Amino acid sequence: MTDYYGIADLNRSEALQARRSVSISIDLSALRYNVSVSKRLTNGAKQFATIKADAYGHGAIPVAHALSASGIRRGRTSSEQPISDDCFADGFAVVTLNEALELRDSGIRDPILILQGPQSPDACEEMVQHDLWPVIHDLAQYEWFRRVDNTDQLNAWLKVDTGMGRLGMNTQQANEVLASDHGINWMGVMTHFACADETENDFTQQQYDRFQQVNIRAGMCKSLANSAAVLNWPQTHEDWVRPGIMLYGCNPLDRALSTSDTLKSAMTVEAPLVSVKSLPAGAGVGYAQSWHCPEDMPVGYVALGYRDGVPRVLDETAAVSIDGKRCAIVGRVSMDSMAIDLRGVTDAKVGSIVQFWGEDAPIDLLAKAAGTISYELLTSVTGQRYYTDG
């Protein structure tokens, strides 16, 4: 493939020859499709694509260039199919200054929102210098910026804690800051929802109502909706939304999505079978012999373990896929491998590719089996990443 993103693409066979043979395939066109879903649901609201934590394990730089209209147009040839503007982000959201500077160094010129704002007074000047958009959530940060030159050039966002109990000023503090004559250019005011994934929980509405108590001046933007609010709380969409986990094809809600809102999974994680054995009934598998074969059966061993970011503790529902056929994970996950039940895939052999999550193995099911969430799996898995685009 053409190297659009400053990172050389690897083909599948090359990826599977990597040192650990764990292949992480990222479909960049799926990310753009998911942006288009967010835009449609929010009636064209501007989109901060949230690419913190290395784009949830997908690679922040290639993801940003794939979702930036200017970035992708620099890398595509005139003969390639044009991409609709509805598929691009309007800006990006990260957590730290270093994340933002890496994007700037890679050529990203779109707005970059820094969700935790400055962590020291020195960082304030760099944010002004590089035209970054800090979130100011604490009075200490506000005081730091008061001592910085050219703050009238700053596109700052004020964060209000409406009930999350995390970062943000309370409504009284926010109103006092907004009423100040100090020269910070407030672009907007934002908050973050604690329970938006719980579709019947009215706490999101309570937070929304508290946000209405902030005296936001005319012309200032509002940003409230995360992925779950984009998908379920239309009253919160406002000027800018901040889709995160939904960009990567994961459903954050406590219910299934409608067919019209279906997202495309962007990451596929695979590894090869390195051994296939026939074990007799009663044979134990793995550490502590916690699982025993119920009958004579084939058991496969996959070159992926907890050192690669797969949880060590999984319940009996944990499964992977070979050629679209589900195979249960049996026994305890080891550091470098795990065992799977091959009774339903009689033609499996050494070298067969096992999908841990992707189109044939939904990540949400594996996350549930691990007692965790898809966010943790995406940001924990390690291996050779390679990129496709359509």
Token pair recorded at residue 199: 């579709």
**DSSP-derived 3-state class of residue 94:** strand
Query: CB-based contacts of 275: which residues, under 8 Å, 6+ apart?
Result: 300, 301, 350
Give, in degrees to the nearest 5, the angle at Cα 192 between 144 and 38. Answer: 120
CA distances from 115 to 94, 101, 144 (A): 6, 14, 16
Q: How many CB atoms lie within 10 A of CB 46?
A: 16
- Catalytic, 52? Answer yes
- Identify whether 386 is a catalytic site residue: no
Residue 390: partners with Cβ closer than 8 Å, 6 or more residues away: 27, 28, 29
Q: Which residues contact 264 (CB under 8 A, 6 or more apart)?
A: 27, 30, 33, 34, 249
Q: Indicate which residue of 4, 33, 39, 52 is catalytic.
A: 52
- The packing angle between helices 171-179 and 139-146, to 10°, is 10
Residue ranges in 147-242 assigned as alpha helix (H): 171-179, 203-211, 227-232
241-255: b (≥16 Cβ within 10 Å) or e: bbbbbbbbbbbbbee
Quick one: tokens of 353? 């590719």
Tell me how far apart the terminal alpha carbons of the chain are, to the nearest angstrom.
11
Taking phi first (over 0 means left), then psi (-120 to 50 degrees means alpha), and beta for anything else, what does residue 351 get?
Answer: left
> 3-state secondary structure string, 280-336?
CCCCEECHHHCEECCCCEEEEEECCCHHHCCCCCCCCCCEEEECCEEEEEECCCCCC
Scanning the chain, the segments in alpha helix (DSSP H) are: 12-16, 28-41, 52-57, 60-67, 69-75, 97-105, 121-129, 139-146, 171-179, 203-211, 227-232, 363-369, 374-380
Between CA 249 and CA 33 the distance in angstroms is 9
Catalytic residues: 52, 287
